[in-house]
Amino acid sequence: MENPKVTMLTGATPSLLNNSMPDLALRHSQNPILSPSQVQPSRPDMKVECLLNPGVFYFDGLVWLVVRVAERPVQEEGKLSFPVLKNDSVEILSFELADPLLDTTDPREPRYEGETFLSTLSHLRLFRSGDGVHFEDAGLPILHGKGELESYGIEDCRVATMNDGTYLLTYTATSSKGYGVGLRKTSNWKDFEEMGMILPPANKDCAIFESKVNDKYYCFHRPSGVGLGGNFIWLASSPDLQHWGNHICLAETRKEMWDSNRIGAGAAPIMTKEGWLAIYHGADFENRYCLGALLLDKQNPANVIARSEKPLMQPLEDYEQKGFFGNVVFTNGHLRQDDEITLYYGASDTVIGSAKFSITEILKTL
C-alpha cells in the first residue's frame, strides 16, 4: 500500500512526554487523551460508561482509533436495566432489583433465570487525529454487533493493516453463546465485509500478523480453558485469513510473576532486526494488568526467543489505577515509526492513554 502521509509523530515532542515513571513507557503528558465525557452516547437513553482498548491505524493521512465504547442504559431507581441486540437493534431489558430471579453478584455480568448477560453493550467508534493526540469523532457510522453471535456487542478491536490496502478487524464477539473472535475487512472504513467468527468460544485477544510468514498468515489468540489449561497466548496459521488451524500454545502464565493469572496478545507484532516483537498484557491474581514483550523467531514465530521478566509498563498513574476496573493498562493498538512505537491503551477500563517506547530499549530488556 502507499506510505501513510502522517505527520503526527513529530507532533509529540519529548517535552510533552512524561518519563518520570519507573517503567519503559513515555506517557503523554496530556493523558488521558480520550475520556467518556468526550463521547456522545449512541442513543439518548444510554450513557457512555467506559472507553476501552482501541485498535489503531493510519488512514487518509491521519491517525485513527477504533475505540470500544461501552454503554449502559440510564438507570431507574429500584431497577436494573441492561441492553442487548435483537435483530441487530438495541433492546433494553429492565428488571426490578427485588426480583428473586435476578442475580447481580457480579455487577458486570448480571444473571436472570440462570442466563448470563453483560451490564454494558459495547460498539466500536472511529476517531481521527492529525497529531495522534487530539482525536475527534470521525462521524462515520458506528460499528455494531451483527447477528446472534454478536448480540451482546463487540469489543477490543485489533486492526491489521495489510500490504494490499485492506484493514482486518479482529474483535471479541459476545453473546449468550459465548465470546469468540469475529473478523471484518474493509479498505475504506465505510464498507465492511463480514468474514464470520474465525475462532469459537471461549476466545479473544486475536491479532493477525500484518504480513505472511513462509506463505502463511499467522495470528495470536487467547483461548480459555475449562479444567485443564489456562489463559495462555496461542498461535495459529491460515491460508486465507478466514480459516485457521495448526494451533499451538506460544506462551503460558508464569507462577508468582506479574503475568501469573492471564496473558493475551496486544496488536500485530512488529518486525525488528531481532525478530517479531509482540507486546502483550499479563495480569496477576489481583487482576493488575501490565504490559510485557515476547520476541519471536522471524522465520518461525512459534519459536519464542525471549520474554520480558519485568513489565514494560505498569498501571502507575492515577488514571491507570482508578476507574471502572482499576489497575489496568491494556493495549491492542500501536503505530511504529523507525525505532519508535506509539502505543494506545485502555487505562482502568475507562479512558484511553498514549505512550511511546523505543524498540531498541525494549530489545535491550529481552
Tell me which residues touch its own copies (CB under 8 A): 109, 114, 116, 118, 148-149, 152, 174-180, 195-203, 221, 223-230, 232, 234, 236-240, 242-249, 252, 255
Q: State the nearest-atom distance from the C-beta of 203 to its own copies, in Å.
A: 7
Give me the least distance between CB of 208 and its own copies, in Å please. 13
Query: Considering only CA atoms, which of 322, 329, 359 is closest in space to residue 346?
Result: 329
CA–CA distances in Å: residue 113 to residues 86, 110, 148, 150, 308: 19, 10, 20, 21, 44
Minimum distance of its own copies from residue 260's CB (angstroms): 10
- How many angstroms separate the CA atoms of 56 and 160, rounded? 9
Q: Closest approach of Cβ 249 to its own copies, in Å?
A: 4
Alpha-carbon torsion angle 196, 198, 201, 204, nearest 10: -110
Task: Confirm if 174 and 155 have CB atoms less than 8 A apart.
Answer: yes
CA angle 221/226/230 to nearest 5° reads 50
Cα–Cα–Cα angle for 266, 270, 271, rounded to 5 degrees = 155
Q: Which is nearer to its own copies, 150 or 320 (CB)?
A: 150
Beta carbon nearer to its own copies, 103 or 137: 103
Q: Smallest gap, in angstroms, from Cβ of residue 296 to its own copies?
A: 17
The answer to whether the CB of 152 falls within 8 A of the CB of 117 is yes
Which residues contact residue 99 at a Cβ distance below 8 angstroms, ignoring those fewer than 6 apart? 112
Cβ-in-10-Å burial (0-12, 13-18, 19+) of 2 comes to: exposed
Min separation Cβ 17 and its own copies, Å: 38
Distance CA 343, CA 333 (A): 6
For its own copies, which is the closer residue by CB, 47 or 216? 216
**C-alpha torsion angle, residues 224, 225, 226, 229 (rounded to 10):** -150
Nearer to its own copies by Cβ, of 93 and 195: the residue is 195
Is 36 or 180 the residue whose CB approaches its own copies more closely? 180
Nearer to its own copies, 134 or 177 (CB): 177
Spell out the alpha helix ranges (H) of 5-122.
Answer: 8-11
Nearer residue to its own copies within complex by CB, 41 or 196: 196
User: In whole angstroms, how close is the CB of 102 to its own copies at the nearest point?
Assistant: 17
